[in-house]
Chains A and B, each alone.
Chain A
Amino acid sequence: MKPATGLKICGVAALLLVVLSSLRLADPAPVEQAHAIWIETKWPFLMDQWGEGKSFQCKAAECGSELNLHIRAKVGFCSTATGIADDDELERLSDFDFMNGRAIALSRGHEIDVAGMKGRIRAYETVNSVHSPTYAVSVAFNNNSDALVATVVFNGGSPAAMEPVIIQFLNGRTIQRWVSLTLGL
């Protein structure tokens, strides 16, 4: 192959890469993760069997839509052998009561990885008689038999677009420090 031909191929490949990358960015439009600022808020729910966890909010200005994230541990509630293998297991772990109404799954969930812990995420539309339709995302990941379950509620934007910013926050120091403290890791 002539050097000039090789350069042309490289150039076309680079152009394709840029085009493909921009297409991937365009659908759905991702939130600019670097700008996401999460502020801890008061745990808003009544006491139940799992106790309290942590709540955080990311304003619309930073995250594209106001995200309210609630996370807590469910100690000993996960199968060590199978983890969160499917949507049934994710739903068994999920905090549907934290969502603003009846949750209707938008699609099948998929696997995620949070700080080396395997898990699963699924998006829902929630409907009730008071609020206009909102969205919720349920995320669960596990360390042996202990599950960490996060519920994120938001009014606008696309759940797919919000996923990277949510996963990035779960991977961040704030949450990982809390996970270590809570599970004694």
Chain B
Amino acid sequence: MTVARRDIVKSDITHTFAVAIVTLLVGVPPAAAETPKIGDPPEASNMRLVGFNDLQGRSAYQPTIHHQGDRWIAYIGHHGGTDAVPKPINPLSGQPEFNGTSIVDVTDPTHPLYLRHLPGQEGNYEAGGAQMTRVCDGKDLPKGDPSAVYLLRTFGGMAHEIWNVADPANPKLIIRLEGLKDTHKSWWECDTGIAFLVSGVPTWRVRRMTEVYDLSDPAKPIKIREFGLPGQEPGSTGSVPTELHGMISIGPAGNRVYFGYGTNKGGILQIVDRDKLINGPKGPTPDNLRYPVIGQMEMSPLNGAHTTFPLGKLTIPNFSKDKFASQRDIVMIVDESLVNECQAGEARQMVWFVDATVETRPMVVASYSVQEENENFCERGGRFGAHSSNESMAPIFYRKLAFVTWFNAGVRAIDVRDPYHPKEVGYFIPSITAATDKRCIKANGQDVCKVAIQSNNVETDDRGYIYVVDRANTGLHILEVTGSARAIAGPH
């Protein structure tokens, strides 16, 4: 475990001076001097490292942090292995295992305890592993076993699985929903059991669409319907609309599900009436697919919609004296960058704030992006751009601070209290380790590779800890906010 004792903030002046000296002496361009090295300290502002676990050197996607009795357990989904190490060794069993789910006790965040690795599907990178995790207590689900804790995870692209993780060190498989051509970032309502699964039903024209399930009794899943954009359904022809990435439901009380389509291109935010989606006509016809849709916003085709995180109604400071519409209904959209080192084929992927007060006419009102200028993120190696935000709606951060992973720029803390003027208030870029995998681009037909942090997904818990996981095998970093960022969050 590595613990940072203090924040380390880079000095621009020192940095610029050092780069100039290096350039003068050895002719190394400034960009090359930015490539991280093992032993470099983390870069941070208003965020501090609390604890670390290497996650057995596995590439990580979604962390879900669950308060389980008197313990806090992190369930972390993994991508498949790499060409170099397709089946990493699990030190607990001594056996090589395909990447799956890491189960880590984070009750003491300074000493995360790795409990169990649950293998996933064979295959490297996106072709294998078990990227997604959601967790519900049986006592919260309408027909769940009160003694059970249920992990819903993907099994590569071929299936969704439900495990009983009441004893997180000894999970028991309950059921597998298989026969799919892909899976991804699903959502599960613990109070109703309704699950919105990102699936690839073979008859559909896209790899990813929605299957709505009633998982109120996880042992007896009931499929409610299939859903997607008109033109994706079986039998349709012509252009195939942008495929689904994920969704977030605010449950029966809010009666909305926010769907995000697209990754780094052709993004669409879709605001859907949850009740009509679940109880409306179900056959996958264009009319039935349109029926529950309240509003739909097509983004610039240069950006996608990885995460569509509803922030709810916020009073806009500048509108506070207005007698009409001083509160606005805001959705934060996070794009996903796919391309290394800002190369061709992709525009900058970032964060967009959408005013959806009039749900039929949502509109982007602000954006946030990490400043590349003077920091040379485009040359540091790997991807630079947005990927994913925390999705916890726990009061400690919700509607105040949002955390967004930015690959080689680590995780960024954004003050969203005024979503018309979002402001960065902190960041943390973890140090690379010997486990951090390289990322390459082609130059003159040759692979040019660099080793860089690739902060992939982030989640927060009710206590105020921030969990950042790395796509380039570096592991899990547990953080907390400090300084002015902590003041925004309020008392922990």
Contacts and interface: CB of A to CB of B under 8 A. Distances in A.
A, B assembled together: yes
Interface in B251-299: 264-266
A33 to B, nearest CB: 29
A184 B205 contact: no
A185 B124 CA distance: 22
Interface string B326-348: 00000000000011000111100
Contact of A146 (B125, B126, B345): B345
Interface of B: 123-127, 205-207, 237-240, 243, 264-266, 301-302, 338-339, 343-346, 441-445
Contacts of A48: 301
A73 interface: yes
Contact of B264 (A76, A79, A82, A105): A76
A112 B265 CA distance: 27
B445 A75 contact: no
B27 to A, nearest CB: 24
A96 B346 contact: no
B442 A184 contact: yes
A50 B265 contact: yes
Contacts of A183: 442
B126 A81 contact: yes
A164 B308 CA distance: 46
A49 B240 contact: no
Nearest to A95: B239
A180 B204 CA distance: 33
A92 interface: yes
Interface string A170-184: 000000000010111
B443 A184 contact: yes
B205 A88 contact: yes
A81 B125 CA distance: 9
Q: Place the interface of chain A in its size category.
A: 20 to 34
A74 B126 CA distance: 18
A27 interface: no
13 contacts: A49-B266, A75-B345, A79-B126, A79-B127, A80-B126, A82-B127, A92-B205, A92-B240, A96-B238, A104-B237, A180-B445, A184-B444, A185-B442
Contacts of B346: 75-76
A113 interface: no
Contacts of A92: 205-207, 240, 243
Given A76-B264, A76-B345, A104-B237, A184 B441 contact: yes
Contact of B344 (A75, A77, A82): A75
Contacts of A104: 237
A47 B476 CA distance: 40
Given A96-B239, A104-B237, A146-B345, A49 B302 contact: yes
Interface in A41-80: 48-51, 73-77, 79-80
A102 interface: yes
B382 to A, nearest CB: 13
Contacts of A79: 126-127, 207
Nearest to B338: A76
A93 to B, nearest CB: 9
Given A74-B345, A81-B124, A92-B240, 9 more contacts: A50-B265, A79-B207, A92-B205, A92-B206, A92-B207, A94-B239, A97-B239, A146-B345, A184-B343
Nearest to A146: B345
* Residue among B266, B338, B345, B443 facing the most chain A CB atoms (10 A cut-off): B345
Given A75-B344, A75-B346, A146-B345, A80 B125 contact: yes
The winner among A49, A50, A76, A105 for most chain B CB atoms within 10 A is: A49
A163 interface: no
Which 6 pairs show the lowest CB-CB distances between chains A and B? A75-B345, A184-B442, A49-B301, A81-B127, A49-B265, A76-B338
A91 interface: yes
A153 interface: no
A150 interface: no
A149 interface: no
Contact of B345 (A73, A91, A97): A73
A149 B23 CA distance: 42
Contacts of A94: 239-240
Nearest to A72: B345
A50 B300 CA distance: 12
A61 B33 CA distance: 57
Contacts of B266: 49
Contact of A102 (B237, B339, B444, B445): B237
A103 interface: yes
Contacts of A105: 237
Nearest to A182: B344
B387 to A, nearest CB: 14
Most chain B CB within a 10 A radius of its CB, from A74, A103, A104, A184: A184
Interface string A23-45: 00000000000000000000000
Contacts of B343: 75, 184
A29 B302 CA distance: 43
A76 B126 contact: no
A76 B240 CA distance: 17
B372 to A, nearest CB: 19
Contact of B205 (A73, A77, A91, A182): A91
Residue among A76, A97, A146 with max Cβ neighbours from chain B (10 Å): A76
